[in-house]
Amino acid sequence: MKALLCRNWWAVGIRGVAALLFGILAIALPGVTLLTLVVLLSAYFVIDGVFAIIAGVRAARQGERWWPFVLEGIANIGVGVAIFLLPQISVLALMYLLAIWAIFTGVVMAFGGGTFTTGAPRWLLIIGGALSVLLGVMMIGQPSLGLLALAWWVGSYGIMFGVVLLSLALWLRNNQMPNQSIPTHTPA
C-alpha cells in the first residue's frame, strides 16, 4: 500500500489542492458554498429515492414486501425535489437544527459540570456549555450569521484537510521506494 501511495503521491497532492481551493472559496463565497451543499443534498435524496423504488420493484418481482421501499423512494424523491426548488428553506432548516443541537449539548455539558465538586473540569464544562448555548441562541436570533458561520466551518475544514493532504503528498514523494529493477534472464 505504501509503495502504491508513494508512486501516486501526485494524486494525493491534487486532492489536497482541491480541498484547499474548496476551503478558500467556501470562506470567500459562503452563499455559494451553502447552495452547493443543498444541491448535493437534493441530488442525494433523488438518487437514493430512485434506488429505493428499484429495490421495491425487485422485491415485488420476487413476491416480497415491496411497498415500504416504494414509499420511501417516493418520499426521498419528493424531499429531494423540494430541497432543490426551495434551497433557502433547506439551508435555514439545517441552520436551525444545528442551533438546537448547540443549545441541547450546551445544557447537557453545563449540567455535566455539576458532577464535579471542585476544580478546573467543573468550570471548563460549565463555560463550554454556556458558550454552546450562547452560540445556539445567537444562531436562532440571527440566522444569517449562523449560516455564515456554517460556511466558514466547512471552509476551515477544507483548508485544514487540504494542508494535511498536501503534507502527506510531499512526505510520500520524499519517501518513495527506489525502483526495483526487474531481473532479466539472459541466456548463458
In a domain, 146, yes or no: yes
Q: Which string of b and e fits 118-135 if b means at least 16 CB within 10 Å?
A: eeeeeeebbebbeebbeb
| The pLDDT value given to residue 152 | 86
Per the structure, the count of domains in the chain is 1
Which tens digits make up the pLDDT trace of 139-172? 889 887 777 887 888 788 889 988 998 998 898 8
Residue 180 has pLDDT above 50, yes or no: no
CB atoms within 10 A of CB 155: 20
In a domain, 144, yes or no: yes
pTM equals: 0.56
In a domain, 1, yes or no: no
> Phi, psi at residue 150, to the nearest 5°?
-60, -45
Task: Provide the residue range defining the domain that includes 152.
Answer: 11-173
Which residues are CB-contacts of 128 (< 8 A; sequence separation ≥ 6)?
Answer: 106, 109, 110
Question: Cell 503534507, residue?
Answer: 167
Eight-class DSSP state of 175: T
In a domain, 179, yes or no: no
In a domain, 118, yes or no: yes
Which tens digits make up the pLDDT trace of 88-113? 787 788 788 878 988 998 898 888 87
In a domain, 34, yes or no: yes
Q: Is 49 within 8 Å of 76 (Cβ atoms)? A: yes
